Structure 1
Amino acid sequence: MELTIQKPPLSPHSFARIRFQDCDPFGHLNNARYMDYFLEARSEHLRETGNFDFYEYGIQSGRSWVVNKVETQYLEPVKQNDIVKIVTRLTKLTQGTISNEYLLMDKDGSRLKALLWADFTYIDLNRGRPVRHEPEMMSFLGNFLYDELGLEETSFESRVKQLRKQITEGKYSQG
């Protein structure tokens, strides 16, 4: 798999319909299923914008990423059959880790329903041990790094408030 790309979108989005089997008896998206929607959206975004497939890369390279920390804020119920907008982005890159931010909004992008931050460790799949990103991978991932002033110093709680304000002001309602 060739790891080259020309200026990908740093904050891609897609839409998903909430499936019956992912909901609790109240018809709300089960809290354990949010991460499935987020990870699937990120995987699809990288296939579309970077011609990168996590599964294929793991098979070819023997390396991939595993989740080591997750923070989630559920803000409004998401219901069965709702169409939601999911925004994903890479917010931090180190020699052995990546961090992603995931926003789940209503279809119009006018209401934030949930926010998730996830940290991943890069590992050797055969040994199950952390490894450093290869220079080529660091360069490739660097193309996707979302750089918003002050984001690195922002707490999760502050970020939730900041994004709710931005969404209310219409920042995510286009597209």
Structure 2
Amino acid sequence: MTSQPHPDAPGMMVTCAVVTVSDTRTPETDKSGQIIQALLANAHHVVGAYAIIKDEPNQIQQRLASLSQKVNIDAVIFNGGTGIAPRDTTYDAIEKLLEKTLPGFGELFRFLSYQEIGSRAIASRAVAGVYQNKLIFSLPGSSNAVRLGMEKLILPELTHLVSQLRKSS
């Protein structure tokens, strides 16, 4: 692990919303949503909201808009719907709303995925950015992809990125 150029604020907790985008998952079968919530809790962050919504662009955008209005939510982590199948609409729904994008997130996620699954990583449309002063992440729905994105990218940078956003508010 490389050293961080800017140390994180010690003990800073981030409140996240977790949104699973799926036409078939339930709270009992949502393994990826459960993994995200457990990893956040283990890192001493807070899950302030959790939902499963259908892979419908309007539902995705409405959920993002409503969560962005909640003052206690710092970040929203979506999982599911990032591939290229006809029902995979999360990327399309979210990306056009982002006011700032974090291209390095998707690039690094695909690089790390390539190391695990090979060339199939090109089908991932993982994306991250900022919407209405909230940090937004969108991961694939597979449990392995969620664990990879959370452990290697999101959790190591979550407090730093949120603290950067708080500077502007």
TM-score by length of 1: 0.28
Q: Higher strand proportion, which one?
A: 1
The higher radius of gyration belongs to 1
TM, length-normalised to structure 2: 0.28
